[in-house]
Structure 1
Amino acid sequence: MHRIFAALLAVSGCASIAQAQSTDLALAGPSFTLDQALELAGASSPSLEVASAGIRSADAARTVAGLRPNPSIVTQTENVAGSGQYRDVRSAETTAGLELPIELGGKRSARIAVADARGQRAAIAAAVTLADLRLAVIQAYVEAVAAERRLATAREQSGLAAEGLRAARVRVRAGRASPIEEQRADVVRINAEAAVERAIRTLEVARGNLARRIGQPIGGMLDVAWFDRVAGYGPTQGIDPGGTLAMAAAQADVATADAQVRLARSQRVPDITLSASARRLAATNDTAAVFGVSIPFPVFNNGSAAVAQARAERDQSDAQGRVIALETAQAIAAAEAEVANAATTARTASGPALVAAQESARIARIGYREGKFGQLDLLDAERTLSETRAAAIDALAAYHDAQARRDRLTTAAPDLTKD
């Protein structure tokens, strides 16, 4: 069952955690892709075990619903322990036989219909679990890749800060700048090194969370190229929520409620019990056959209240389905717009804005070394570059997260007619 879920998860997406030093070694290995993470999560996730157990339970319930009532063995002794000729067991009459309940009104087929509806609901619940798992894995992967990017950026900024400190020392030693410039540059270096330490710890946590999702430690770097890639995005097109998992679940609830109404109606028809027995008369040692029919008399409970309850629950499920249709359509429209906006932001932040910030910082570093710009100009350019890099990483992470949540909302329901 887990292999099936793993295959579905891979198609839909097309141990201890090391410390800082071992993390660096792990990052030197081959890239660990999102598809690999999805496949491993599908093979080890306990949530899929829950969904699998739910399907097996529904299958067993279907079998139970199709079973007929069991017959009963009946024994009865009369005319014993009385007075006169009925003293002791001299006139005893012993009856032994079978009673067979006969269901009327289509109760068995109604029970099967309810079990079938619940089985389809369990299959949809399994698909929902699979889609939720895919979303959780993608979000954990995005968080881990973003942490890797932030660590690389922090290390680069730390290197630039160290270079700025060396340049400041040269200027101070040459008498071209005040000693305060060296102290200011040293503060920037210290803060940059602290940022690297924080980024390392954040990366360890993010990779650890992803490792727990997939059930094993992660070896190698994550797929940064995938993270940096922003797909082209044109005008949004309306997506019909009718084929989504949310609507399929709502429709399955309505189908179950319909079956419950049918079952409640069938319960209004009384069942009969047929009996066939043999009676032994102790007084004459003779044997006689006894036949009987038992029919309930629905005086106090004729089942109309149960039918009314089932109809009300069916109306509730139908109304809830219309609410879900409205909310799903709104959520999909909002998700489409969010993906488009996130794509625009990511392309801008990681494209022209980042190039401009890098060029500005490069010119400021050259100008500072040559004495054409002051240190404050350099620090301002470096701070702008750092903020732009952070904004680009945040924008890319937001884009992938928005895309994953949009895909979760629009996940198509499984075709249960093939079963």
Structure 2
Amino acid sequence: MIFPSSPSTGRSTDVLRHAVLLACVGLTAAASFAQDRSEAATTAIPLTLNVAVSQALDQHPRLRAAQRGLEASEGVLLQSRARPNPELSYSQEDTRSTTRTSTVQLNQMLEIGGKRSARMRVAEKGREVAQAELGAERANLVADVRMAFMGLLAAQQRSALASQTLDIARSAREAAGKRVAAGKAAPLEENRARVAESGAQLEQAQAQAALRVARQQMQTFLGDTTSAFGEAQGALDALPAVPDALVLRERLEQAPSLLQARSTLEQSRATADLESAKRVPDPTVSLGVKRAQEMARNQIVFGVSIPLPLLDSNRGNQLQALRLADQAEDRLLTTRLALQAQLYAAREALESSRNQAMQLSSQVLPTAQAAYEAASKGFALGKFSYLEVLDAQRSWFEVRTQYLEQLLATHRAAADIDRLLGISSGQ
């Protein structure tokens, strides 16, 4: 039986065909551009996570900047060991050559009260703060590279999924065309198939654009923007294990943020000790020679001077240092509480997304795929309408997209845990 088409149906068919034609022209140009980019990528060396992490650690300026901070703290430590320079002074009494008296004197200030050792402790704790900052920056960089790499893997799979969906939509459109030509279906069914194919082409173009963005983000971490890398190779579905809560609590105290806060507290306390030691005045000893021309002989000059802390006893600086030490202690407690909450949230997110991904992989995906395959076979045999096939195809695509999102969320939570604990090794 052949279904007649009304004038309104013919006009709607022409509009749909015109829209599909315009979409195909635009998508063809985009696909050609993406193909040129993909061909350049396929000729390069494939990229793995370990290679990406190693190259980022070697070349990224973020880590070099933190390293420069550590090197600068070495200079502060070196300077803290220095002792006060001696002072050479010259004085003259009278200007006549026969009666004048000249004195050459060497003055040396002596640091007492533990000022030098306290100053060295401040510098040492400053170096520990810089080391903790370097460790935190290293862990942050590795976590960012890991997430960029996993995002690239997901983008590659989305692009492949979109291409597969387009192939399915194209096959469905061809099957619908054959049914219409044989008089077994209305022309509206073929029009719907063409619209579905056009939508699949749009999804493919979006997936390819997202893939290019993911590659560019990955390139920013590799440092060298002149050399391209190939396809990312890795197992996105290799889900990380959920760490035990007791293990997380044990490793909590070695987290970079806690190490940095603890070193800052110790540095503040050392600064308070230094300010307290400054209340003890430092004497200056003098030794020199005095030449009296009138008596034609030299005299040894020895002296000691001690500042009198009558107007300035350094009480203000000492009070400030003590209050800053109290502030650093409160910030250490705040950092520990925040870190515990963040670790708990990241572990819960890891466990939840991991369970959802496993459930999607073992139950939902096979069911959705079986439903689509059954609907496709039934459509070919004339048992189902194309709407039923389209609905099953859309459900299967949504489930596969959701599965990729859960995989990415699982790796993101695992990377957050590594970032918080300061783990800086690629997997």
Same fold flag (TM > 0.5):
yes
- In structure 1, what is the Cα distance between the partners aligned to 2:294 and 2:186? 131
| Contact 2:86-2:109 at 8 Å conserved across structures | yes
Q: 1:192-207 alignment to 2 at 5 Å?
A: 192-207=200-215
- In structure 2, what is the Cα distance between the partners aligned to 1:330 and 1:64? 40
2:38 corresponds in structure 1 to 23
Q: 2:232 aligns with which of 207, 222, 237?
A: 222
- In structure 2, what is the Cα distance between the partners aligned to 1:215 and 1:234? 32
2:392 corresponds in structure 1 to 381
- In structure 2, what is the Cα distance between the partners aligned to 1:264 and 1:23? 64
2:28 corresponds in structure 1 to none
1:297 corresponds in structure 2 to 308
Instruction: Name the Cα RMSD after superposition.
Output: 2.0
Q: 1:12-91 alignment to 2 at 5 Å?
A: 19-24=34-39, 26-27=41-42, 31-80=46-95, 90-91=98-99
- Following superposition, the deviation at residue 232 of structure 1 comes to 5.1
Return the TM-score normalized by structure 1: 0.88
Distance verdict in 2 for CA 1:28–1:290, change over 3 Å: closer
1:13 corresponds in structure 2 to none
Q: Which runs of 5+ in 1 are unaligned?
A: 1-17, 81-87, 414-419
- In structure 1, what is the Cα distance between the partners aligned to 2:241 and 2:271? 48
Q: 1:346-357 alignment to 2 at 5 Å?
A: 346-357=357-368
The higher-RCO structure (CA 8 Å, 6+ apart) is 2
Distance verdict in 2 for CA 1:312–1:234, change over 3 Å: closer
- Following superposition, the deviation at residue 263 of structure 1 comes to 0.6
Distance verdict in 2 for CA 1:235–1:92, change over 3 Å: closer
CA offsets 1:317-375 (integer angstroms, 9 cap, x no match): 11111111111111111111110001011112233111111111111111111111001
CA offsets 1:289-321 (integer angstroms, 9 cap, x no match): 222111101111112222221111111111111
2:325 corresponds in structure 1 to 314
| Contact 1:33-1:222 at 8 Å conserved across structures | yes
Q: 1:244 aligns with which of 255, 280, 285?
A: 255
Q: 1:253-402 alignment to 2 at 5 Å?
A: 253-402=264-413
| Contact 2:132-2:257 at 8 Å conserved across structures | no
Name the amino acid aligned to 1:53: R
- In structure 1, what is the Cα distance between the partners aligned to 2:212 and 2:342? 34
SS at match of 2:269: helix
Distance verdict in 2 for CA 1:412–1:167, change over 3 Å: closer
* Higher mean displacement: 357-366 or 91-100: 91-100
Q: 1:134-213 alignment to 2 at 5 Å?
A: 134-213=142-221
1:417 corresponds in structure 2 to none
Name the amino acid aligned to 2:60: S
Q: Which runs of 5+ in 2 are unaligned?
A: 1-32
- Following superposition, the deviation at residue 132 of structure 1 comes to 0.6
Count of residues in Structure 1 that have an aligned counterpart in Structure 2: 388
Name the amino acid aligned to 2:233: D
- Following superposition, the deviation at residue 269 of structure 1 comes to 0.8
1:115 corresponds in structure 2 to 123
Distance verdict in 2 for CA 1:378–1:60, change over 3 Å: same
1:83 corresponds in structure 2 to none
- In structure 2, what is the Cα distance between the partners aligned to 1:233 and 1:315? 37
1:409 corresponds in structure 2 to 420
